[in-house]
Amino acid sequence: MKQILYLLLAVALLTACSTPQKTEEPTAVKNDIKPQTEAFWNSLKALQGKSFEGKLADPAAGGDAFSGKKLVMHVLFADEQTILIPFNVGDDRSRTWIFKRQDGRIELKHDHRLEDGSPDKDTMYGGTSTNSGSGTMQIFPADEQTLELIPAAFTNIWWVTVNDTAYTYNLRRMGTDRVFTVLFDLTTPIETPLASWGWENFGK
């Protein structure tokens, strides 16, 4: 009787070992670009080639560098990965906002140039959104590069809003009362300004 039991057990073990094990189907890679991130990006893309005049929400927040100056943004270039927006302050054409897609998030960098087109000593500071934001607003806390370039700016938070009528660029330095906002009227395009320094031959 014991021999029969041992034989049945051996057969059961052999059957179990020979039965193909069910393997799990590989998990599909999910698209990490959220609809709200896509909506924000497409709103900026739709402005390509257009220019707009802006104003400070609080003139006192701009100081001498911005007070009484004509403020102009020009959406120079926009594709699926990069958006370039020169921001001119009067005759100062040193500033360009650079937006890039990074792993489902959006990065904002500040490109600063000297009049000869060479990089300024403080350039390419900014940050990357830490969440998908909304279709009309993205927030950019200061990154490590910003800390290294401008130690006092490690608490900077930038945010950009865009809708059918307005684009705003905003800066808040945490721990201070400083809030800097430039509001651009998107309902009234203006003439394309002179190219920002260092970008004169872009696209040629």
Give pLDDT tens digits for 61-78.
888 899 899 999 999 999
Q: Identify which of 55, 49, 67, 78 has the alpha carbon closest to the alpha carbon of residue 193.
A: 49
User: Are 59 and 191 in contact, with CB atoms under 8 Å apart?
Assistant: no
Cα–Cα distances (Å) from 91 to 16, 179, 196, in that order, read 81, 24, 10
Per-residue pLDDT of the chain (204 residues; tens, 9 = 90+): 444 444 444 444 444 444 444 444 444 334 467 999 999 999 999 999 999 999 999 988 888 899 899 999 999 999 999 999 999 999 999 999 999 998 999 999 999 999 999 999 999 999 999 999 999 999 999 999 999 999 999 999 999 999 999 999 999 999 998 899 999 999 999 999 999 999 999 987
Compute the distance between CA of residue 173 and CA of residue 119 in angstroms, rounded to an integer: 24
Compute the distance between CA of residue 84 and CA of residue 171 in angstroms, rounded to an integer: 19
* Token pair in block for residue 139: 């927030």
24 forms beta bridges with none
Task: Out of 2.40.128, 1.10.10, 1.10.357, 2.60.40, select the CATH number for domain 35-185.
Answer: 2.40.128
**Distance from the first to the final alpha carbon of the chain:** 92
